[in-house]
Amino acid sequence: MVRVIVDGTPVEVAAGSSALQACEAAGKEIPRFCYHERLSVAGNCRMCLVEVVRAPKPVASCGFPVSDGMEIRTDTETVRRARRAVMEFLLINHPLDCPICDQGGECDLQDQAYGYGSGISRYHEEKRAVTNKDLGPLVKTVMTRCIQCTRCVRFCTEVAGTPELGGISRGENLEISTYVEKALTSELSGNLIDICPVGALTSKPGAFQARPWEMKKADSIDVTDALGTNTVVQVRGGEVKRIVPRVNDEVNEEWLSDKGRFSVDGLKRRRLDRPWVRVHGKRQAVSWQDAFVAIAKRLEGVPGNRIGAIAGDLCDAESLTALRDLMESLGSANLDCRQDGAAYDLSDRSRYTFASGVTGIDEADALLIIGAAPRHDAPVLNARIRKRYLSLGRGKFPIGVIGPQPSDTTWSYEALGEGPDVLASLYDGSHPFCEALRTAEKPMIILGHGALVREDSLAIQAAVRHIAETTGVVKDGWNGLNILHTAASRVAALDLGFVPGQGGRSMRGMLSSGVDVLWLLGADEFPVGGISPETFVIYQGSHGDAAAARADVILPGAAWTEKDGTYVNTEGRVQQAFRAVFPPGEAREDWRIIRAFSEVIDHRLPFDTAEELRARMARINPVFVGGAPASVSQPPFAGSETIMTDRPFRLSRQSYYLTNPVSRASETMAECARVYSVPAAIAAE
């Protein structure tokens, strides 16, 4: 530690810290534009000037290392004059268009000009104008406002891993550009809007819709992937206007994927806002009571083993619990949350979660990826892999990949093969990459969707576990064997036992042999054409997607922004989302719909409030109150005794932007899918 004196206050900071970090440790506010805690130091805005005793002139504190005994002064007349001069230079060419700028109210330049500027300008010449750049359908540019802080350039290069922005020309002619005009290809491009300190980069879909001070805010969780990114939902006039990230260093740091940020317009399109019942082949809008009665009549005389339920990828834990208990009360063990047909080893919770935790990536020093494409499966988690890749240095973080990868990965890797046949040489220890795992202190394996949805999935998982145990991936004090989920509801459903019970059928079984009544809880990601024409289908969800078109009864539910809900991310972290707006029309929270229906059929569920329901969740699995997780039992998977085949791993051909009913309802995501076509590496069969 190094002892530094800041404005007469002694503080201790780590060796190698900057003067700016020392000042912040002492509680001093230092203005800055180019400096960002998660990016490299540029030192080009000069707004963070401070005075260091015995230094000949003010220094840029962001790039000035501290030394023992250094004395820093942050509020002298010299510092104030220097900051006023810097601000005057920054405003020379900046347009005075704050009233029409979407950054107004959240603009660092606006705030710091008021706090540190002089209030006058001695510059009377014409201002420079810069041509706006077309960066694609998500990020709007007004480049005349740009102050060349280069945050966007460093973010694209260092965090997103897509070095598409840079500076061209010099001096007053310097511009931030893609040089050759093209759309940004990163799945994290929306974060440029957050880190831009002025109004040069703003949201194109959300332009001119609301001011920050007009919006109400609610903490929430991003459900477009399984990472559980912490978000803030911002609402104006009863409509969700914006979703932005919330800082959580253990999950998402301060980043958010483009799908989670920009699919917001899908929340108001294709909505189900009233119950519907099919009568003589045509659907009719009905009351809730009539819809419940129609279901109750169809259930009369149907044995429990002829009733089934499938849960979708966006469900909260409360609705999963309610539907599970309803099916149990009807005598049905036909439950499944795996629309993709994935199989898991449910003998221990660590075997179906990201066992090392997301922050474990920051400690890993070797990585083996099997059947996963982190850039598309979880873009924010992929950014953390890149962060570790850069922090250790090129060649010091060996990454091996089994299975296809997009051609534009953000880290270098060694392609080990396309299919499970590579696992044989890893299994017996003869593969060269085994040495990289053995010599690493904290090696890691990520097993992804492409390996979990195969018929030989459990055989693959058993082989990978053996590899992990023999190479030190799993050892005392470290468990680096991780499952990367893609569905936000999956871990919670597995924790709650929303899988086939004793004698129960999986989704494939329900479709192949047929059930008389099938309850779909937001389940839209499986081929509904496989449902028997004789099956009575109940669809409960928020959007009119493919499954709603097949349904005999439609029960309008709430989207995740319209209810309080519990979600469990891929690492098994239990997180809470809060309601930001009310559901449209007659739509209701999903668990309340199921609870109300249970009374109609005289199978009243034993909870009336959200608190009682969460107590029920905790009794099923103590993990929901921070206790030790309960194991989840299920019958052996049909393929558990099979051996691994040589068939190569395949990744989803579905566009990254169209993976759930909300994003498919979004015009912005449809435009993104058009602009960013499915990469050839993924589309290849």
Report residue 71 CA to chain centroid gap: 43
Residue given tokens 């936000």 in the structure block: 488
Classify 355-484 by CATH class: alpha beta
Backbone angles phi, psi at 164, to 5 degrees: -105, -15
Report whether pLDDT(639) > 80: no
Report whether pLDDT(252) > 60: yes
Q: What is the DSSP string of 357-384?
A: -GGGGGT-SEEEEES--HHHH-HHHHHH
Give 3-state DSSP helix, strand, coil % of the chain, rounded to 5: 35, 20, 50
pLDDT of residue 635: 47
Classify 276-344+489-625 by CATH class: alpha beta
Residues forming CATH 3.40.228.10 domain(s) in the chain:
355-484
Tokens standing for residue 407 = 């051609």
Tokens standing for residue 420 = 């499970």
Q: Which of 533, 536, 504 is nearest to 520 (CA)?
A: 536
What pLDDT, in 10s, does the model give residues 576-635?
Answer: 999 999 999 999 999 999 999 999 999 999 999 999 999 999 999 999 987 667 655 554
499: which residues sit within 8 A by CB, 6+ positions away? 335, 336, 337, 338, 346, 493, 506, 632, 634
Report whether pLDDT(683) > 60: no
The CA R_g of the chain, rounded to the nearest whole Å, is 28
Tokens standing for residue 361 = 């990536």
Q: What is the DSSP string of 150-195?
A: -HHHHIIIIII-----EEES-GGG-EEE-SS------TTTTHHHHH
Contact 274, 586 (CB under 8 A): yes
CATH architecture type of domain 2-90: Roll (3.10)
pLDDT band at 514 (very low <50, low <70, confident <90, very high): confident
pLDDT of residue 633: 53
Q: Please report which residue ranges of 98-165 form alpha helices under DSSP H.
A: 108-116, 151-154
pLDDT of residue 679: 45
What pLDDT, in 10s, does the model give residues 292-324?
Answer: 999 999 999 999 999 999 999 999 999 999 999
CA distance 312 to 488: 9
pLDDT of residue 636: 45
Average model confidence (pLDDT) across the chain: 92
Q: Are strands 517-521 and 307-311 parallel, antiparallel or unpaired?
A: parallel
pLDDT band at 179 (very low <50, low <70, confident <90, very high): confident
Q: Which helix (H) or strand (E) holds 79?
A: helix 77-90
Contact 302, 579 (CB under 8 A): no
More confident residue, 548 or 679: 548
Residues forming CATH 3.10.20.740 domain(s) in the chain:
2-90
Helix, strand or coil for residue 591?
helix
CA distance 393 to 376: 24
What pLDDT, in 10s, does the model give residues 367-419?
Answer: 999 999 999 999 999 999 999 999 998 789 999 999 988 778 999 999 999 88
Q: What is the DSSP string of 268-327?
A: GSSB--S-EEEETTEEEE--HHHHHHHHHHHHTT--GGGEEEEE-TT--HHHHHHHHHHH
- The whole-number average pLDDT for the span 221-247 is 96
Residues forming CATH 3.40.50.740 domain(s) in the chain:
276-344+489-625
Tokens standing for residue 513 = 């042999």
pLDDT of residue 646: 85
Tokens standing for residue 545 = 């997607």
Contact 38, 254 (CB under 8 A): yes
What pLDDT, in 10s, does the model give residues 471-507?
Answer: 999 999 999 999 999 999 999 999 999 999 999 999 9
55: which residues sit within 8 A by CB, 6+ positions away? none
CA 399 vs CA 366, 389, 446, 486: distances in Å: 6, 9, 11, 21
From first CA to last CA, the distance across the chain in angstroms is 56
Percent of the chain predicted with pLDDT > 90: 86
CA distance 428 to 434: 9
At 210, the amino acid letter reads A
At 378, the amino acid letter reads A
638: which residues sit within 8 A by CB, 6+ positions away? 506
CA distance 78 to 514: 81
Residue given tokens 């239990």 in the structure block: 574
Q: Which helix (H) or strand (E) holds 481?
A: strand 481-483
CA distance 38 to 457: 38
90: which residues sit within 8 A by CB, 6+ positions away? 33, 45, 47, 109, 147
What pLDDT, in 10s, does the model give residues 332-377?
Answer: 999 999 999 999 999 999 999 999 999 999 999 999 999 999 999 9
> pTM for the full model?
0.93
107: which residues sit within 8 A by CB, 6+ positions away? 98, 101, 197, 198, 199
CA distance 490 to 652: 17
Percent of the chain predicted with pLDDT > 70: 97
Q: Are strands 59-60 and 49-52 parallel, antiparallel or unpaired?
A: antiparallel
Contact 350, 629 (CB under 8 A): no
pLDDT of residue 642: 60
Backbone angles phi, psi at 353, to 5 degrees: -130, 175
Phi-psi region of 395 (alpha: psi -120 to 50; beta: other; left: phi over 0): left
Report whether pLDDT(677) > 80: no
